[in-house]
Structure 1
Amino acid sequence: MSTVHPERYHLTLTTAGRPVAHGWWGSSTVADRKFASWVGEYGSMPDVRITLTDEQQGSALVTWPDEA
């Protein structure tokens, strides 16, 4: 049985480098859904950056806009 870490997936929203909102979820499915929701709702803000991080792995999973 795997352990759920309620604060494993951290979602942050910044604009012009300043934090605006954040949230934590234990489920990658829920965190992915929230990420997509935030991109749809806030993705057109000026200088926005939305990042989903796996705090257990210590790495960003996805960022909006894409850094490529």
Structure 2
Amino acid sequence: MQSNLEQPGRFHLLLASLGQPVQHGWWNSESVARAKLARWVGAYGTMPGGRITLTDEDTGTVLQVWPPE
């Protein structure tokens, strides 16, 4: 059995460029994940074909996408 430290968090950020994954992050707090999304937009927002997706892994719901569709 995995401890909580080994399990990824509920809220998953995915940074992709031209459809290929570049970076992932998982957090247990939605507010922390949303703050990270904002930071990633600032840091990677000019990446060619960049897309950042925040997903609730428990429900499979996409909570936010950047750039907006």
Shared fold (TM-score greater than 0.5)?
yes
TM-score (normalised: structure 2): 0.86
> CA–CA distance in 2 between the matches of 1:20 and 1:8?
19
Number of aligned residue pairs: give it.
63
Please give the root-mean-square deviation of Cα atoms over the aligned residues, in Å. Answer: 1.3
Extract structure 1 runs of 4+ deviating beyond 3 A: none
Where in structure 2 are there 5+ consecutive unaligned residues?
1-6
* Structure 1, gaps ≥5 residues long: none
Shift in CA distance, 15/6, structure 1 to aligned 2, threshold 3 Å: closer
Taking only the aligned residue pairs, the percentage that are identical comes to: 57
Shift, 1:16, TM fit: 0.7
